[in-house]
Amino acid sequence: QKEVEQNSGPLSVPEGAIASLNCTYSDRGSQSFFWYRQYSGKSPELIMSIYSNGDKEDGRFTAQLNKASQYVSLLIRDSQPSDSATYLCAVILSGSARQLTFGSGTQLTVLP
């Protein structure tokens, strides 16, 4: 089992819809979770960090964390074509030296 798993996609949604991206992790002791966005040919950009169970909202983005289910998700409301990118879920595993462990990424396309 991979340490961090994401639906590889690709995921396509129409403009204005909600895009839902999912991630599961295997290390029950993990405490820090992140979503990054990476456009083709560019470096990752931090969208959201989340550390506690529940929802965390920032603009059109909402991260959801459920530690009991070892599940973290990202919702993008009112999706725009400019949101088309690869979304990376990252987890800091317990016992690590704060290195990020990434999922394989989900490629999102928002159709105009």
Which tokens go with 82?
A: 């400019």
Q: For strands 100-102 and 106-111, give the pairing.
A: unpaired
Instruction: Report d(CA 102, CA 90) in Å as an integer.
Output: 4
Q: In whole angstroms, how close is the CB of 102 to another protein at the nearest point?
A: 6
Which tokens go with 16?
A: 């204005």
Which tokens go with 62?
A: 């909402």
Q: In whole angstroms, how close is the CB of 107 to another protein at the nearest point?
A: 10
Closer of 15 and 57 to another protein (Cβ): 57
Among 12, 46, 58, 77, binds another protein (CB under 8 A): 46
Q: Is 35 in the site for another protein (CB under 8 A)?
A: no
Q: Is 104 in the site for another protein (CB under 8 A)?
A: yes
Which tokens go with 39?
A: 């456009």
Task: Give contact residues for another protein (rule: CB under 8 A).
Answer: 32, 34, 36, 42-46, 49, 88, 92, 97-100, 102, 104-105
